[in-house]
Chains A and B, each alone.
Chain A
Amino acid sequence: MMRQEITSMNAVYSNMRRGDWARWTLLAIGVIATAGCFSPAAQFELNMIAVHKRELESEATFSTQYQLQPIAEILEASFGTPDNPVLPPVPGIEDVLDLEKIKMAAGPYGSDENGKQRGLYRQHCVHCHGITGDGAGPTAAFLNPYPRDYRPGKFKFKSTASGQEPTHQDLNRIIRDGAAGTAMPSFKLLDSDEIEALTHYVKYLSIRGQTELYLIEAEFGELLPAVVKPASERNAEEQEYVESLTEEELEEEKAEFLEEVAFFESRENIVEEVVGPIVEKWMNAGDEVTEIAEKPEMEMKESIAKGRELFFSAKTGCAGCHGESALGDGQTAEADFYDDWTRFYYDPNDPSTLEGYLALGALEPRKLRPRNLRQGVFRGGRRPIDIFWRIRNGIEGAKMPAAPPIVTDEEIWHLVDFVRYGLPYDALSENEPHQPENVRVRN
């Protein structure tokens, strides 16, 4: 049964790769029909954007049999499906992910046979963040900024430094409060239990997505499948390469390749090499929270004046991006100002590959903007401590750098006061002429 399903999923991949959506849908329906489910079984789609990127880098195409299928199998064995989540056997994972909570958020909206609530994620989040958490749900194309793609495990608004995972509390807070000035709504009206369930589910999708990315980029993506593929599946470069090998070299490379694939047939290896280290980082996030010296007692006017001086100094460089008037216009001339989620598939210096990514569902690139600080909107929360963390640690994925270590905590507090109270409030100010909204019609 399991085998069968996976084979049909493969057919899905190869069709997706040709961008043949109509057939893809037909096939998907076929899969559901043969599986005989009473409700349409949602599927986690493979991260084809990452696959495509790896293929362009290595000038080879992934083998369905030896790469795409094993990746899908590993992911399903480790994390289950959108309706039936499971957790990989990583020691201590229960400290990071609570399966009961995840189940509350997973599945179609409603309640299960025992009357337990299910489907919170699909009820509240999926139309923006997508089933896999790719940030490309049906509404996404109309939003600016785009909803977060959870799969790289990168988050902007957190209490930990760049490169560290956010804490449970960080994610819980952004779900509760939303991100002001963006489409990310506040879910304050949900029970704290429900917000907890959603927080666990976001972490679950992130860890799953990070595992997938690692398998695609590092493990399976390192293999050059030309030697094991039938000639009909090889592209011109691969064919040329295979022809350049002697019989002996070919056999050697084949054996090496198959050995690597076999390595991942062991669950133990998967846990040790791939999922374990990822989960470990999430486990440690709580210990990585940036500690902060208490805000010094000071006359607000004086603190703001100090903050202003720092803001415009070469010690902090804030004005270099946020502009001399803090309208966020310091970078408008830069052609290459995109966030990391976009930079993953879009290189403004070489736009020729963009079409291929868009065909796989990537969102039209939108330029990032340093925040216009005169609008008084703080996406990551307006408590002084939120803004302190933003300035001290920078905003991961969004180019805003961490303040240099020589800037003291006290000085950061002055900057916090300055950006909160030291700028003329100007709700209608614009930092660049509105670009015509880049709305792409999605199927």
Chain B
Amino acid sequence: MKLLHFSSALLLALCVSSAVSAAGWGTITGKFVVDGKVAPPEPLVITKDKAVCDKNPPLVDESLLVGPDGGLKNVCVWLSLGRRDPQPPVHASYEATANDTIEVDNLACAYVPHVVVVRPSQKVEFKNSDPIAHNFKVDGFANNPFNTLVPAGGSFMHQFPSEERVPMVAACAIHPWMTGFIVVKEAPYVAVSAEDGTFTIENVPAGDWNFQFWHTSGGYLSEVKMGGKTEKDRKGEYEIKVEDGKATDLGVITVAADKLKK
């Protein structure tokens, strides 16, 4: 109670920042491609509830998925701020989704989708469409961890009030091969690359921003080739210029296969 000022100061900071408007808005697109050979994903070892979990084709390790033309799936791209920087202005187009519910399902003993993105204002529905019980054990850093069982066919709602530096990990204590990721960011400028490696972030405020590239196989992408130039950053942070009314196409962003840890 006496410490109310922490949270009220935070609220104030949020209100002030979202009231700021930008000098225009632009779009960022790109495509992550792996350079080099990557082994096909390994089938997971299913130790129990085989009737439900042991399917054909078998469940595979989803940490490193590469499409037919080398496209890298599940690279998370988010606008990265210095630790005490104000939040960037938020485009009106994001207001409509500010209170959405994002769904994560248990489907045949895998999390679908494998990576989800939420904002603190949004809710997550943790679902279980399987005929057996699962549990969601979610560990982050800024948010309280939880571990809740979800009955067959059941679901529950949860809200993550704080932004997380890196994606939170979801796991099932009953079926230990299951993992998923939850990206919680205050600013909505976040994307996860699709099966073919492409991603788009719309309506980013014009300006020079840092974006972080993070992949489910081993964290930050500390070395990439963009626009023919090799760039390195230990925290996977790269500067991207956004101009009003324009699309910044980063083109093909190449990641060397040997830089992707399994």
The reply to whether B149 and A59 contact each other, CB–CB distance below 8 Å, is: no
Segment touching A, from B12-20, B67-75, B138-146, B245-253:
B138-146
Residues of B within 8 A of A314 (CB): 131-133, 151-152
Tell me whether B93 is interfacial, beta carbon within 8 Å: no
The reply to whether A244 and B165 contact each other, CB–CB distance below 8 Å, is: no
Tell me whether A317 is interfacial, beta carbon within 8 Å: yes
Tell me whether B159 is interfacial, beta carbon within 8 Å: no
Segment touching A, from B1-9, B184-192, B208-216:
B1-9
How many A-B pairs fall under 8 Å by CB?
A: 117
Q: For residue B132, which residue of chain A has the nearest CB? A: A314
The reply to whether B133 and A244 contact each other, CB–CB distance below 8 Å, is: no
Q: CA separation between A163 and B158, bound complex, in Å?
A: 13
Minimum Cβ distance to chain B for residue A192 (Å): 28
Partner of A401, one of B49, B149, B232, B234: B149
Contact A224/B148 with A277-B6, A314-B133, A315-B133 known, Cβ cut-off 8 Å: no
The reply to whether A276 and B144 contact each other, CB–CB distance below 8 Å, is: no
**Dominant secondary structure at the B interface:** loop
Tell me whether A272 is interfacial, beta carbon within 8 Å: yes
Q: CA separation between A222 and B237, bound complex, in Å?
A: 13
**Dominant secondary structure at the A interface:** loop
Q: For residue A218, which residue of chain B has the nearest CB? A: B141
Tell me whether B41 is interfacial, beta carbon within 8 Å: no
The reply to whether A333 and B47 contact each other, CB–CB distance below 8 Å, is: yes
User: How does the 8 Å CB contact mask read for B1-41 relative to A, with 1 for contact and 0 for none?
Assistant: 11100100000000000000000000000000000000000
Residues of B within 8 A of A401 (CB): 135-137, 147-149, 173
Q: Which of chain A's residues 259-315 have a Cβ closer than 8 Å to chain B? A: 260, 272, 276-277, 279-280, 283, 313-315
The reply to whether B174 and A315 contact each other, CB–CB distance below 8 Å, is: no
The reply to whether B149 and A91 contact each other, CB–CB distance below 8 Å, is: no
Q: Which of chain A's residues 401-417 have a Cβ closer than 8 Å to chain B? A: 401-407
Tell me whether A113 is interfacial, beta carbon within 8 Å: no
Tell me whether B48 is interfacial, beta carbon within 8 Å: yes
Q: CA separation between A404 and B3, bound complex, in Å?
A: 32
The reply to whether B48 and A315 contact each other, CB–CB distance below 8 Å, is: no
Which of B1, B152, B232 is most buried by chain A, counting CB atoms within 10 A of its CB? B1
Tell me whether A241 is interfacial, beta carbon within 8 Å: yes
Tell me whether B134 is interfacial, beta carbon within 8 Å: yes
The reply to whether B147 and A317 contact each other, CB–CB distance below 8 Å, is: no
Q: For residue A161, which residue of chain B has the nearest CB? A: B146
Q: For residue B143, which residue of chain A has the nearest CB? A: A163
Q: CA separation between A316 and B134, bound complex, in Å?
A: 9
Tell me whether A336 is interfacial, beta carbon within 8 Å: yes
Tell me whether A396 is interfacial, beta carbon within 8 Å: yes
Contact A224/B132 with A163-B146, A218-B165 known, Cβ cut-off 8 Å: no
User: How does the 8 Å CB contact mask read for B31-71 relative to A, with 1 for contact and 0 for none?
Assistant: 00000000000000001110000000000000000000000
The reply to whether A335 and B3 contact each other, CB–CB distance below 8 Å, is: no
Minimum Cβ distance to chain B for residue A40 (Å): 37
Interface size on A, residues (CB 8 A): 51
Contact A317/B146 with A58-B234, A217-B141, A280-B3 known, Cβ cut-off 8 Å: no
Residues of B within 8 A of A402 (CB): 146-149
Partner of B145, one of A163, A272, A320: A163
Q: CA separation between A218 and B156, bound complex, in Å?
A: 30
Residues of B within 8 A of A283 (CB): 1-3
The reply to whether A403 and B149 contact each other, CB–CB distance below 8 Å, is: yes
Tell me whether B113 is interfacial, beta carbon within 8 Å: no
Minimum Cβ distance to chain A for residue B84 (Å): 8
Q: CA separation between A17 and B132, bound complex, in Å?
A: 47
Q: CA separation between A315 and B176, bound complex, in Å?
A: 19
Residues of B within 8 A of A272 (CB): 6
Minimum Cβ distance to chain A for residue B201 (Å): 24
Q: CA separation between A374 and B144, bound complex, in Å?
A: 33
The reply to whether B154 and A406 contact each other, CB–CB distance below 8 Å, is: yes
Q: Which of chain A's residues 336-360 have a Cβ closer than 8 Å to chain B? A: 336-337, 340
The reply to whether A224 and B234 contact each other, CB–CB distance below 8 Å, is: yes
Residue numbers of B with Cβ under 8 A of A are 1-3, 6, 47-49, 82-83, 131-137, 139, 141, 143-152, 154, 156, 165, 173-174, 176, 219, 232, 234-235
12 A–B pairs (Cβ distance < 8 Å), ordered by A: A91-B3, A162-B146, A276-B3, A314-B133, A315-B152, A317-B174, A321-B174, A340-B139, A400-B147, A401-B147, A402-B148, A404-B156
Known: A222-B165, A396-B145, A399-B147. 12 other contacts (CB 8 A): A161-B146, A162-B145, A163-B143, A163-B144, A218-B141, A280-B6, A283-B1, A316-B133, A334-B47, A394-B149, A401-B135, A402-B146
- Rank and list the top 5 A-B pairs by shortest CB-CB distance, nearest first: A317-B133, A163-B144, A314-B152, A401-B135, A92-B2
